[in-house]
Structures are given as C-alpha cells and as structure tokens.
Chain A
Amino acid sequence: MKIDPELKKELKKTLESSLEAGKKRAEVVSASKLDAKELEMLYKTVPALKSMVKKFVVDPGIMAGVVIRIGTKMIDLSLNGQLSKLQNKIYATD
C-alpha cells in the first residue's frame, strides 16, 4: 500500500513533536509526599528534572525512595526496586 509522501511527512513531524514533549515531562513516584530537602537532593541526583514538567505521584507500594519516569525511560530508586534487584541477583547466582 502506497502512502502519500505528504501524509508521511506530517505523521513523522507529529511523532517527533510528541516524543519531544514526552522528553520534557517527568513523573516522580514516591512513597510519601517529598519535602523541600528531598526535592533538593532529587534535583542534585537528576539535574535534568529541574527544567521539566513534573508530575508527583504518591505510591506507598514502593515503600521508600523514588521512581522517576521520563518518556519511555525509567530510573528505579525505590526500596521495592532494590529488593527486586536483590531477588534477581540471588536467582542469577544459582
């Protein structure tokens, strides 16, 4: 099926713009609401967060630490994640 080259161009442009928009948005999940000190430490750890549009979500399930999602990428700094890593390491050493 042949697609119209103009339509192709428009689609590509739309996709790129939405990707770019995604890159500028971040979701920060924490076990409880982050105070100023914690935010400061967070920006020190991930300086790029400062310039992004942030969405803060509270999820007691992660127990402690934070999970940062930027677009399709994720940084898992939660206690839950650490426990999962430990579990995987134990399995891997079998």
Chain B
Amino acid sequence: MENLGIDFKLLLAQTINFILFFVIFKKFIAIPFMKFFNSEKKKDLEREVLNMKMKKFEEEMIVKEAKFEASMKEKVAKILEDAKKTGAQIKAEMMTEAEYAASEIKVKASKDLMDEREKLFKEAKEKVFDLSIVMIREALKDVLDETTKKRITANILKNSASSLKFNEN
C-alpha cells in the first residue's frame, strides 16, 4: 500500500476530515440551506397560488364588468325607447289639444262675426228708421197746411175718444 503511494494515516485523517466536514456541512449548511430552499419553494408556490387566484379574480371581474355594461346598455336603450314613446304620446296629445283649440277659435270667430253682422244690420236698420221718421217729419212740416192740420186734429180727436190713456209726465 505504501508502494502505491497511499498513506493510511493521511487517508484516515482525510476520511475523518471528510466525515467531519460532511457532518458539519450537513448540520450547519445543508440542513439550513435546504430549509431555506424549501421555504423559498413554498413561498414561490404560495405566490403562484396567489397569482392564480388574482388572475381568476381578474377574469371574474372582467366578466362581471361586461355583464354590467351589457345590462346598463339594455337599461339605457329601454329608457330611450320609453322616452321616445312618451314623447310621441305627448306630441299626439298636444296636437289634439291644438286642433281642438283651433276649432274652438274658429267657431268663436264665426259666432263673433255673425253677432257683429247682426249688430251692424240692426244699427243700419235703426238708422234707416230714424232717418225715415226725420224725413217724414220734415216732409210733413212742408206738406201740412192749416186745413190739413185741422182735419188731422179732428180725426185724432174722433178716434181717440174711446181709447184714452193718461200717461205720467
């Protein structure tokens, strides 16, 4: 063995050294390191899980947002439709009211015109009567002489005898 260059003492010492190193390495480096490595791995896993959860949550939020947007669009469309219907209804009602008011105005105007015409006609008639009476009076003033006046007076007195009526002055 010595001829091969192997020193048993050295080998033993190295083996012991190695074993010591191994033990120390295992106890003080490997185990903590592995612990640290495992904890990091665990943390990574947890992070991974959290990320997945976040992603899922985000996807759910996107879906919810899309649904909400769709429902809002639907509501807005419905409100617009209702507003259009109401507007059309109001327009129709206003048209009916306006037509009714216009027809009332027409009827009233026609009635006013008729009344005005009647009034004018009546006034014209009265003026004609008044003028006629004035003309008769004037004509009689010229035509009546004393004889005619006396004849008329006698006639009036004769005819009035039966139908006398006292008036208060």
Q: Which residues of A contact B153 (CB under 8 A)?
A: 30-31, 34, 38, 64-66
Question: Which B35-63 residues have C-beta < 8 A from chain A?
Answer: none
Is A41 at the interface (CB under 8 A from chain B)?
Answer: yes
Q: Are A38's CB and B122's CB within 8 A?
A: no
Interface 9-residue window, one of B66-74, B78-86, B141-149: B141-149
B159: min CB distance to chain A, Å: 9
Q: Count chain A residues whose beta carbon lies closer than 8 angstroms to a beta carbon of B.
A: 34
CA distance A21 to B154 in the complex (A): 30
Q: Are A64's CB and B161's CB within 8 A?
A: no
Interface of B is mostly: helix
Is A57 at the interface (CB under 8 A from chain B)?
Answer: no
Q: Are A87's CB and B130's CB within 8 A?
A: yes
Q: Are B122's CB and A94's CB within 8 A?
A: yes
Q: Which residues of A contact B165 (CB under 8 A)?
A: 75
Residue of B133, B140, B157, B169 with highest tally of chain A CB at under 10 A: B157
Q: Are A35's CB and B140's CB within 8 A?
A: no
CA distance A32 to B154 in the complex (A): 13
Is B166 at the interface (CB under 8 A from chain A)?
Answer: yes
Q: Are B157's CB and A63's CB within 8 A?
A: no
Is A42 at the interface (CB under 8 A from chain B)?
Answer: yes
Is B126 at the interface (CB under 8 A from chain A)?
Answer: yes
Q: Which residues of B contact A87 (CB under 8 A)?
A: 129-130, 133
Q: Which residues of A contact B125 (CB under 8 A)?
A: 94
Q: Which residues of B contact A32 (CB under 8 A)?
A: 146, 149-150
B140, B146, B161: the one within 8 Å of A79 (CB): B140
Known: A32-B146, A32-B150, A63-B144. 17 other contacts (CB 8 A): A31-B149, A32-B149, A41-B154, A41-B157, A44-B161, A45-B160, A64-B153, A65-B152, A66-B157, A75-B165, A76-B167, A77-B157, A79-B140, A80-B137, A87-B129, A87-B130, A91-B126
Residues of A within 8 A of B (CB): 30-32, 34-35, 37-38, 41-42, 44-46, 63-66, 69-70, 72-80, 82-83, 86-87, 90-91, 94
Residues of B within 8 A of A (CB): 122, 125-126, 129-130, 133, 136-137, 140-141, 144, 146, 148-150, 152-154, 156-158, 160-161, 164-169
16 contacts between A and B (CB under 8 A): A31-B153, A32-B150, A41-B157, A44-B157, A45-B164, A46-B164, A63-B149, A72-B168, A73-B167, A73-B169, A78-B156, A79-B152, A79-B156, A82-B156, A83-B137, A87-B130
